[in-house]
Structure 1
Amino acid sequence: MSSIPQPKPLRDQAIVITGASSGIGMATALAAAQQGARVALFARTTTALDEVAQQIRAAGGIVLVRSGDVADRAALEALAEDTFAAFGRIDTWVNNAGVSIYGAMDRISEADLRRLFDTNLFGVINGSLAALPHLKASGGTLINLGSQLADMAVPVQGYYVASKFAVKGFTDALRQELEHDQAPVGVTLIKPAAIGTPFPDHAKNITGRRATLPAPIYSPHDVARTILHAAQTRVRDAYVGGAAPASVAMGRLSPRLADLFSAKVMADTMTGEAAPPPPDNLHHGQSDARLFGKHEEKRIRRSSYTAMRTRPMTTFAVGAMALGALLIGLRKRQTVVA
C-alpha cells in the first residue's frame, strides 16, 4: 500500500456515485456535496436523480446527473468520460447500485436471477473497470458496496447473498492485481448490516408477505459516513453497524449454530404481515428519492460502532479523558485513605 498516495480532502475531490437516487447513494451524495465535493450521480431514474441534484444545488453544491443502467458497460464508460469532462478528474468512485429478491431460491425465475447478478455483480465490475483509468491517473479510491452478507448467509435473500459473496471475491482479487501492478488506487469494500433504506420496499418479493429487515437497523447516514471516511483515509474494508462484525464472528466461531439460528429465526424476521407484492426495482428503476424505508424509519438507530471507527481521534480523545478521570478518582481515593 506504500505506493498509493493519501487521498485528498473531500472539498478537493470529484466523486461518482451509482445508485444515487435513494437510500445509501442519496445519503452519500448529499453528505459529499455538503463537504465540498463535486458529485456525479448515476441511476436508472432521471426524475429521482433530479430531486437529489436539486437538493445539492439548493445548498450551493456542484453536481452532474446521468441516467442509465449499471449493467451497461458503455453507459458507465460514458459516465466516467462525462464526469472527467465536467470536473477534470475522478478521485473516488462508489459502486453502490443494488437490488434484491425476497423468496425461496427454487421459486425465483432465471430471468430475475440474471437481472439481480447483472446489477449487483456486473454493475460493480462495469463501474470498477470504467473508473480504473481515471483513478490510476488521480491516485484515487474505488469503493464497492458489499454487505455483512458477504461474510455470512441468510435465507429468503439467498441470491442477494450469493451476489455479495461474489462482489467481495471480485473486490479482493482486483485489489491484489492492482497491488501487483503497483497501481496507485485504493480499493475499499463496505459491508453494512441492515440499513433502513427503501431496500425492502424496492426488492422484488414473491413471499406473499411484506419484506422487512432484521433488527438492529442502522441509518443510511452511517454508511455515508463510512464511505466518505474511506474516500479520505485508506481503508481495506469496513463494517457498518456493530451488529455486522458480531454476527459474522458468531458464524465463524460456530457455523452450525449460525445455520440453525438463521433457519429458525432469521427466515421469519425477513418478512412481516401478509401483503400483496409491491412495485419493485429489479427490472425498472423507482421514481421516489427517499433516504428511508416506509416501514423502517421508526426502528432506525445510529451506530456508535461506526462513529468510533470513522472518528478515531475523537474516540482516542474521549478514551483519554475517561482514563484521566479514572486516574484522578483513584488518586483522590488513595489520598483520602492515607
Structure 2
Amino acid sequence: MPSPVVLITGTSSGIGLATAIAAARAGWTTVATLRDTGRAGALREAADRAGVTLDIRQLDVTDPDSVTAAVEGVVADHGRLDALVNNAGAGHVGTIENESVDDVRQVMEVNFFGVAQTTKAALPHLRASGGRLITVSSVGGVIGQPFNEAYCAAKFAVEGFMESLAPVAAKLGVTVSVVEPGAVATEFVNNIGVDPADAIAAAGAYEETLKNYLTHILGQFAGGAQTPEEAAVTVLEALTAERPPFRLQTSDWARAFTGTKLADNDGSATVGMTGSWLG
C-alpha cells in the first residue's frame, strides 16, 4: 500500500512546520504548503535534521486559484489525498472602535474564508479516500477574548462551520476534527502585526485596558506556552487515531480553559474570567 498523503497549510513556522515534520516521521507523504516558498528555509532545515522528505509547494489560502492548483496538483502527482490539515492563519489584536471594518474583514478572509476555500477544494478527494479533515482552531474559537474581537470571530466561525459539517461529512466517510491550542511558543508578537508599545500609545481611551491585557497575555506566552512540537502531537493524534473526537485541545491548560465556557450556560463565569485580565 502507498503511504497516505496529507496536505498541510501554513508550514513556514510554528505548529504547521512541526506538524509537517511529525506527519512525515509517522510515514505520511507530506505536502507542506506555504504562501511564500521563499520562506521555506526553516522548514527545509527541520526536515534535514529529522531525516525526512517533504513535498514543499506554494498555496495561498486567500487565493482561490492558488488553492485549486495546489490541491489538484497533489492529486495529480500523488494519485490521492487522504487528509487536509487547515493550519494557515494570522493573529490579530485590536478593538473595533480603533480599527476599520476592512481590518476585521481581512482577519476573516485569512482565518475563516481561507479554511472554507481549502476545505471545498479538498472534500471531493477526501470523500474518495475516506479521509480526514483537520483544522487548527484555537481556544479563542471557544472563548472570546479581550482585544481579539476579529480573531475570535473568525475562529468561532471556523468552529461553527466544522461542527456543522462534521455529521454531514461523516455520512460520506470523511472524519472532521478541530484542534484547539492555547498559548504556543511561536512568534506571537510578529504574528499579530503590531508593536505592543506602539499599540498602547495609539489606543486612546483603551490605553490602560490594552496595556493590562498585553501584560497578561505576553506573560502567559513567556511563562506557560507549549512548544509547537507539543501542540503538533495533538494534530497527529487527530490524523492517526482510529476514531478521533471532533474537538481536541493540545494541553491540560487548554482543556480547563475551554471547559469554563462549555460548562457556563449563562456566560457569567467566562466574561468574569476574561474581564479580570484587564485590571
Q: TM-score range by the shorter chain?
A: 0.7 to 0.9
Q: TM-score by structure 2 length?
A: 0.84
- Deviation string 1:153-209 (CA, Å, 9 cap, x unpaired) is 110112111111100000011112223xx2111111111111111133221226237
Secondary structure at 1:246 match in 2: helix
Aligned-partner Cα distance in 2 for 1:100–1:207:
15
TM-score (norm: length of structure 1): 0.70
Aligned residues: CA RMSD: 2.2
**Is 2:52 aligned against 1:42?**
no
Question: Cα distance, 1:259 vs. partner?
Answer: 1.3
Provide the residue aligned with 2:203 in structure 1: none
Give unpaired runs (5+ residues) of structure 1. Answer: 1-7, 269-338
Matching of residues 1-338 of structure 1 within 5 Å: 12-56=3-47, 59-179=50-170, 182-205=171-194, 207-208=199-200, 212=218, 214=220, 216-233=224-241, 234-235=243-244, 236-251=246-261, 252-253=263-264, 255-265=267-277, 267=278
User: Do the aligned partners of 1:141 and 1:186 also contact (CA within 8 Å) in 2?
Assistant: yes
Higher mean alpha-carbon deviation, 215-224 vs 51-60, is at: 51-60
Larger radius of gyration: 1
Cα drift, residue 248 of structure 1:
2.4
- Secondary structure, aligned partner of 1:121: helix
- For 1:166 and 1:263, the matched residues in 2 are separated by 22
Cα deviation digits, residues 239-264 of structure 1 (max 9, x gap): 11111221222343373233123123
Higher relative CO (Cα under 8 Å, sequence separation at least 6) belongs to 1
**Closer/same/farther in 2, CA of residues 38 and 213 from structure 1, 3 Å limit:** farther
8 A contact 2:92–2:191 mirrored in 1:
no
Quote the offset at 1:54 in angstroms: 4.7
1:86 to partner: Cα distance: 2.3
Distance 2:253 2:103 in 1: 30
Decide which moves more: 86-95 or 18-27: 86-95
State the distance in 2 between where 1:65 and 1:53 align.
Answer: 9
Is the 2:134–2:179 Cα contact (8 Å) retained in structure 1?
A: yes
Q: CA deviation at 1:213?
A: 6.0
SS at 1:69 equivalent: coil
Higher helix share: 2
Q: 2: CA distance between counterparts of 1:144 and 1:32?
A: 15
Q: In the TM superposition, what is the alpha-carbon distance from 1:149 to its structure 2 partner? A: 1.6
* Closer, same or farther: CA 126–172 of 1 in aligned 2, 3 Å: same
Look up the equivalent residue of 1:207 and give its one-letter code. A
Give the number of aligned pairs.
256
SS state at 1:197 partner: coil
Between the aligned partners of 1:148 and 1:138, the Cα distance in structure 2 is 30
Structure 2 unpaired stretches of 5+: 201-210
* 3-state secondary structure, aligned to 1:79: helix
Identity of aligned residues (%): 31
> What is the CA-CA distance between 1:16 and the residue it aligns to?
0.6
> What is the CA–CA distance in structure 1 between the aligned matches of 2:174 and 2:65, rounded to whole Å?
22
